[in-house]
Chain A
Amino acid sequence: MRILRAARELGISTVAVYSDADRRALHVLHADEAYRLGPAPASESYLRGDLILNIAAQCGADAIHPGYGFLSENAAFAEACEQAGITFVGPTANAMRMLGSKTSARQLADAAGVPRVPGTTAAATSAKDALAAARKIGFPVMLKAAAGGGGKGMRAVEQESELASALTAAQSEAQRAFGSSDVYLEKLIVRPRHIEIQVLADQHGHVIYLGERECSVQRRHQKVIEEAPSAVVGDSLRRRMGETAVALARHAGYTNAGTAEFLVDAEENFYFLEMNTRLQVEHPVTELITGLDLVHLQLQIAAGEPLPFAQDDIHLRGHAIECRIYAEDPDNNFFPSPGLITGLSQPSGAGIREDSGIYDGWTVPLDYDPMLSKLVTYAPTRALAIERMRHALDDYFIGGIATNISLFQRILSDADFQAARIDTSYLDRLLSAEPPAQSVTETVTHSEQVAAIAAALFNASSGKPSEAGANAEAADTPWKQARRREGLR
């Protein structure tokens, strides 16, 4: 929907593709044209580049925007688009290959003089090999899948004795998730922040950075809350990180939107992690503090237009926070909770943006990532953006399914989060702490009274046949109710 809207605004007509599970999805409802790809499993639909290209050719599409999942970082697909004469909205297949695999990205980072976490550039082939490398780097170390992302194929290793079994586990997980068992080693940075730099590069050699995003609030290596700017990044660190990211993009001959991810330690040392060669889920926070539309810019860059501004034209204003709302139950081990949405009331008002793909009466499919929406607030200061988000979450009602909204309410009211004392293990610490005591009181609280009155009124108005006769109030017509109120005055 995000991309579809941006295209429409630029006068570009849109074509949606969908799997059987997504026939009723919002993007299909709103596109100018829509074509079926295949059955629900992504391997038979959204990952079938050949089918997507067939549809593109048949409907005469000029360009394909790959979104931010599925084939968005697939160099083979980008190459197939190039060969078919269809513009892929993103970097070239060549740049994607150079930066897409973590090992080749690290070699490139070394060549570009980009600081990175000490580690191996080649995949560890044997336990012996890995042990030698780990001793050189020094424990603790981290094992990571070369082709990976999203936390799959990752293992932290504290000491030598754990290395061999962790390597086997990481390799088999990497093989299953990415079709490649290549795993490399890295030094484990203690309590790092995850901070990333948004870059934009056109086809005429202009490369700029759009400030940073703080993405340290993570669960199982998945981002949960993102904000911009970071509370710990000052002008000097921002410039150093930004210029580093730009140098890397230049070195790779990168074009379009991309993100360089860094770990930042307490001493403001930053280490390059990886480059995401696509638009990212959390791009709205950057849009809000820069006043730019990244999807418009992606489309313009893909059309060969030069960037309409220079680095000095970029000014950051205010603070933005994004919560990733998922259909998962924080009270039940974050178990996914797909199902029918039976009621929906979305927050709105000044400084509130909601990018979602849901509607009342839609069934959240169980086939894909259960992200429902991204709720973003923007305000002059971080404290106000947090306050705005807390109220927006209170107003947000998604009925019928469990969501992680209560998790965000907990994080945003936490003193450490409010003071920006966060790092990549912050959320794990918060979740392993005693949950705030469920205030079970002997006496009935005022809120419980209110809830009870509401429950009784809803119950009476639902008009259950077995309880007929108790529904006198509910049976009132609006006229009768109005008359009674008149009588009160």
Chain B
Amino acid sequence: MQRDILIGGKTIRLEVNGDHVSVDGDDLAVDYQLISANELSLIVEGRAYRCLLDRTVTDEAIIVAGKRYPFAVEDPRALKSRKARGAGTEGPLQIKSSMPGRVLRVIVGEGEDVVPGQGLLVVEAMKMQNEMKTTRGGRVRRIAVREGDTVNAGQLLAIID
């Protein structure tokens, strides 16, 4: 089994072969047991780790010793995911709501140019206002909601080219 894992801004190439795993070419002895769908007992070269998988509506992360490591996975052999990788770094960026709420204000319009960190729209929930920002610069291709709309967690709000 081979996987490329994007973690901490780096890509780590992993190859798991039974009780050995090659990490960027380094060979390590591993043993693992899946405790539940989101808990893993992992032993690497005799050192024991409890690894938790946390899937939220916005990201996926591994928690080890109280620290959270967001990650993305690619299977280098799957053509499909190689395309997906391109989409992740160069293609359109989908802005999704991190929680259920109501669209209070739409700040930018379709076709407008935005810079990283710029606020796109304001979603209100539990009487608090949250500005949804873009992590990348680009042109607003689409605003998928209107002011006053009720949105669910994970719902598409905008697409940035």
Question: How far is the CB of B53 from the nearest CB of chain A, in Å?
Answer: 5
Say whether B52 contacts A453, CB under 8 Å: no
The residue in chain A whose Cβ has the minimal distance to the Cβ of B18 is A484
Residue B135 interfacial (CB < 8 Å): no
Other-chain contact of B63, A337, A397, A471 (Cβ < 8 Å): A397
Report the separation of the CA atoms of residues A454 and B21 in the bound assembly, to the nearest whole angstrom. Answer: 11
Q: Which residues of B contact A409 (CB under 8 A)?
A: 66
Report the separation of the CA atoms of residues A345 and B37 in the bound assembly, to the nearest whole angstrom. Answer: 12
Other-chain contact of A450, B1, B44, B56 (Cβ < 8 Å): B44
Given contacts A400-B56, A453-B21, contact A337 B40 (CB under 8 A): no
Say whether B99 contacts A457, CB under 8 Å: no
Residue A441 interfacial (CB < 8 Å): yes
Other-chain contact of A397, B52, B77, B153 (Cβ < 8 Å): B52
Residue A118 interfacial (CB < 8 Å): no
Residue B85 interfacial (CB < 8 Å): no
In this complex, how many residues of chain A approach chain B with their Cβ under 8 Å: the count is 54
Residue A253 interfacial (CB < 8 Å): no
Say whether B38 contacts A343, CB under 8 Å: yes
Other-chain contact of A471, B1, B33, B37, B55 (Cβ < 8 Å): B1
Q: Which residues of B contact A467 (CB under 8 A)?
A: 75, 78, 81
Q: Which residues of A contact B33 (CB under 8 A)?
A: 481
In this complex, how many residues of chain B approach chain A with their Cβ under 8 Å: the count is 61
Question: How far is the CB of B80 from the nearest CB of chain A, in Å?
Answer: 6
Given contacts A337-B98, A449-B23, A452-B23, contact A402 B32 (CB under 8 A): no
Interface string of B100-134 (1 = CB under 8 A from A): 11000000000000000000000001101010000
Other-chain contact of B98, A332, A452, A484 (Cβ < 8 Å): A332
Other-chain contact of A473, B18, B44, B63 (Cβ < 8 Å): B18
Say whether B1 contacts A447, CB under 8 Å: no
Given contacts A332-B130, A399-B38, A452-B12, contact A339 B153 (CB under 8 A): yes
Question: How far is the CB of A415 from the nearest CB of chain B, in Å?
Answer: 19
Q: Which of A332, A345, A447, A458 has the most CB of B within 10 A?
A: A458
Interface string of A456-483 (1 = CB under 8 A from B): 1111110000110011110000000100
Given contacts A401-B56, A459-B3, contact A338 B49 (CB under 8 A): no
The SS class assigned to the B binding surface is: strand
Given contacts A336-B99, A451-B62, A452-B23, contact A343 B32 (CB under 8 A): no
Q: Which residues of B contact A329 (CB under 8 A)?
A: 98
Other-chain contact of A449, B12, B54, B98 (Cβ < 8 Å): B12
Residue A335 interfacial (CB < 8 Å): yes
Q: Which residues of A contact B99 (CB under 8 A)?
A: 335-339, 366
Residue B144 interfacial (CB < 8 Å): no
Question: How far is the CB of A408 from the nearest CB of chain B, in Å?
Answer: 10
Question: How far is the CB of B157 from the nearest CB of chain A, in Å?
Answer: 15
Given contacts A342-B55, A399-B55, contact A447 B44 (CB under 8 A): no
Q: Which residues of B contact A342 (CB under 8 A)?
A: 38, 55
Say whether B65 contacts A457, CB under 8 Å: no
The residue in chain B whose Cβ has the minimal distance to the Cβ of A401 is B56
Q: Which residues of A contact B18 (CB under 8 A)?
A: 473, 484
Report the separation of the CA atoms of residues A337 and B99 in the bound assembly, to the nearest whole angstrom. Answer: 6
Residue A444 interfacial (CB < 8 Å): yes
Residue B64 interfacial (CB < 8 Å): yes
Given contacts A345-B39, A453-B44, contact A470 B2 (CB under 8 A): yes
Say whether B69 contacts A451, CB under 8 Å: yes
Given contacts A366-B100, A397-B52, contact A455 B64 (CB under 8 A): no
Say whether A336 contacts B69, CB under 8 Å: no
Residue A10 interfacial (CB < 8 Å): no
Residue A315 interfacial (CB < 8 Å): no
Residue B19 interfacial (CB < 8 Å): yes
Given contacts A460-B16, A470-B77, A473-B1, contact A455 B62 (CB under 8 A): yes
Residue B156 interfacial (CB < 8 Å): no
Report the separation of the CA atoms of residues A459 and B31 in the bound assembly, to the nearest whole angstrom. Answer: 16
Given contacts A394-B66, A457-B40, A472-B1, contact A452 B7 (CB under 8 A): yes
Interface string of B13-48 (1 = CB under 8 A from A): 010101101011000101111101111101010000
Say whether A338 contacts B12, CB under 8 Å: no
Q: Which residues of A contact B126 (CB under 8 A)?
A: 336, 338, 366-367, 370
Given contacts A444-B10, A455-B73, contact A399 B52 (CB under 8 A): yes
Residue B87 interfacial (CB < 8 Å): no
Question: How far is the CB of B102 from the nearest CB of chain A, in Å?
Answer: 11
Given contacts A399-B54, A451-B62, A453-B14, contact A441 B2 (CB under 8 A): no
Report the separation of the CA atoms of residues A367 and B100 in the bound assembly, to the nearest whole angstrom. Answer: 11
Chain B residues in contact with chain A, CB under 8 A? 1-3, 5, 7-10, 12, 14, 16, 18-19, 21, 23-24, 28, 30-34, 36-40, 42, 44, 49, 51-57, 62-69, 71, 73, 75, 77-78, 80-81, 98-101, 125-126, 128, 130, 153
List 12 extra interface pairs beyond A453-B14, A453-B23, CB under 8 A: A400-B54, A400-B55, A405-B66, A447-B67, A448-B12, A449-B28, A450-B64, A453-B42, A453-B44, A466-B80, A467-B75, A472-B1
In the A-B complex, the 9 residue pairs with the smallest Cβ-Cβ separation, listed nearest first, are A394-B66, A454-B51, A451-B69, A452-B5, A456-B3, A451-B62, A343-B38, A336-B126, A452-B12
